[in-house]
Amino acid sequence: MNSRRIMAAFPPAANEQVTLANWRQHPFSEWAFRNVRELLPTANIARAPEPAPLSFAPGYLEDISFANPRGETVSVAEALRTSHTDGIVVSHRGRIVSEWYAHGLTPETPHLIFSVSKSVAGTLGGILADLGKLDPDAPVVSYIPEMEGSVYGGGCTVRHLLDMSVGIRFDEDYMARDGDVMNYRRSTGWEPPDPSVPATNLRDYLKTLRPNGTPHGHTFHYVSTNTDVLGWVYERACGISYAKILSQYLWQPMGAEHDAYIAVDSHGAARVAGGICATLRDLTRFGEMMRNHGVSNGRQVVPNWWIDDIRRNGNAEAWSRGDLTKVFPNGNYRSKWYTIERGETPFAAVGIHGQWIYIDPANEMVIARVSSQPLPLDLDLDHMWLRGYRAIAAGLSGES
């Protein structure tokens, strides 16, 4: 199917209509990931009254080369065209050196960032902790008493949520057509209703989740619901909605130029784990703030100690027992951020279908990239782009 015809007519033909049944499937996703507001209820995340200025120093990066999944040498330009990338911004020493858009995306268009949303939530936790509104070591039930009896009772702490070390019985299989992920998606409104399954909502669904027998803190186990519970903790700690917390404490202080938004369920519960839509330039501002130890436009937005903790800590033993060693064999995870390789400086926020913020402090580089890759997890493409990010960093360092 020609993706340019999808949602192009008014009304669209049946085979060109994006619906809840097909919106995460390629090629419908090319349109859907930049038009989530036309598919799902959302809450606004207000921009800053005065955006942090961007500076530009355009460079030519398209000829930088690296290996594709078949071992062939490809250029940045070829990789962008063949990997379902919707847009990319490369920043070096705080200046945008390259910017590229495709498939209808523009600098002003928010794009769904899936689990990059988790890293936003993890960063927000440091701000709230520094303000004394959040205790990372407190039990979850001290904020949400009604979680007693679920996996999030019985000694589960906010830190376990932050580090994905909850001993939860949950199989995060994005390709499954029934089971945990489908039940979860239905609770958020991301799937069409199933008449044979009782209707529910996100918060009620979270209360049904149970332990797997593993002690909390023992094993890295990637489960999105942990981050939705974390957002609920923030709401109880602050007394306002997650979207307002994010705008008040992070999005506006860092100087976001555009409103972002987040998907919500039928009861207004935010899809904290994967529902944020934001522009690439604001994602670049966010990445630059993290690279600069929490400072954006001269303002300390995120406490320096929280970012140091993200980069230096994390439980390597828990990671080695976990379910993402095939992605980053020698990686780590702390407060919703990935360390790519222990002992090296790059760290990243990563979402399914090819969403990335890659931060390389040693080479003073940030790359924000959004995509509509057909597979939720495509290790060949992810590892190709890791080689690409390193090649771009080497090229920028050589130019300087």
Three-class SS string for the chain?
CCHHHCCCCCCCCHHHCCCCCCCCCCCHHHHHCCCHHHCCCEEEECCCCCCCCCEECCCCCCCCEEECCCCCEEEHHHHHHHCCEEEEEEEECCEEEEEEECCCCCCCCCEECCCHHHHHHHHHHHHHHHCCCCCCCCEHHHCCHHHECECCCCCCEHHHHHCCCCCECCCCCCCCCCCHHHHHHHHHCCCCCCCCCCCCCHHHHHCCCCECCCCCCCCCCCCCHHHHHHHHHHHHHHCCCHHHHHHHHHHCCCCCCCCEEEEECCCCCECCCCCEEECHHHHHHHHHHHHCCCEECCEECCCHHHHHHHHHCCCHHHHHCCCCCCCCCCCEEECCEEECCCCCCCEEEEECCCEEEEEEHHHCEEEEEEECCCCCCCHHHHHHHHHHHHHHHHHHHHHC
How crowded is the C-beta side of 394, counted as CA atoms within 13 Å? Answer: 10
Q: Give the C-alpha separation, 325 to 7, whole Å.
A: 39
> Which of these, 290, 381, 335, 387, lies nearest to 66 by C-alpha position?
387
Q: Any bridge partners for residue 56, and if so which? A: 96
* Catalytic residue list contains 115: yes
pLDDT at 52: 97
How crowded is the C-beta side of 230, counted as CA atoms within 13 Å? Answer: 36
Among 29, 115, 187, 247, the one annotated catalytic: 115
* DSSP state letter for 99: E
* DSSP-derived pairing of the beta strands 260-263 and 95-101: unpaired
pLDDT at 186: 96
Q: Give the C-alpha separation, 320 to 332, whole Å.
A: 9
3-11+22-134+224-399 carries CATH number 3.90.730.10: no
pLDDT at 286: 98
> Considering Cα of 378, then 383, then 385, then 386, what sign does the dihedral take?
positive
pLDDT at 400: 43
| Backbone φ, ψ for residue 176 (5° rounding) | -70, 145
pLDDT at 3: 81
Tally DSSP H helices, then E strands, for the chain.
12, 16
Per-residue pLDDT tens over the stretch 317-339? 999 999 999 999 999 999 999 99
* DSSP-derived pairing of the beta strands 85-92 and 95-101: antiparallel
Helical packing angle, 280-291 and 116-130, nearest 10° = 50
pLDDT at 197: 86
Q: Is 233 strand, coil or helix? A: helix
Q: Per-residue pLDDT for the chain (400 aa), expressed as one digit of tens each?
A: 778 899 999 999 999 999 999 999 999 999 999 999 999 999 999 999 999 999 999 999 999 999 999 999 999 999 999 999 999 999 999 999 999 999 999 999 999 999 999 999 999 999 999 999 999 999 999 999 999 999 999 899 999 999 999 999 999 999 999 999 999 999 999 999 888 888 899 999 999 999 999 999 999 999 999 999 999 999 999 999 999 999 999 999 999 999 999 999 999 999 999 999 999 999 999 999 999 999 999 999 999 999 999 999 999 999 999 999 999 999 999 999 999 999 999 999 999 999 999 999 999 999 999 999 999 999 999 999 999 999 999 999 885 4
Report field, pTM of the whole predicted structure over 0.95: yes
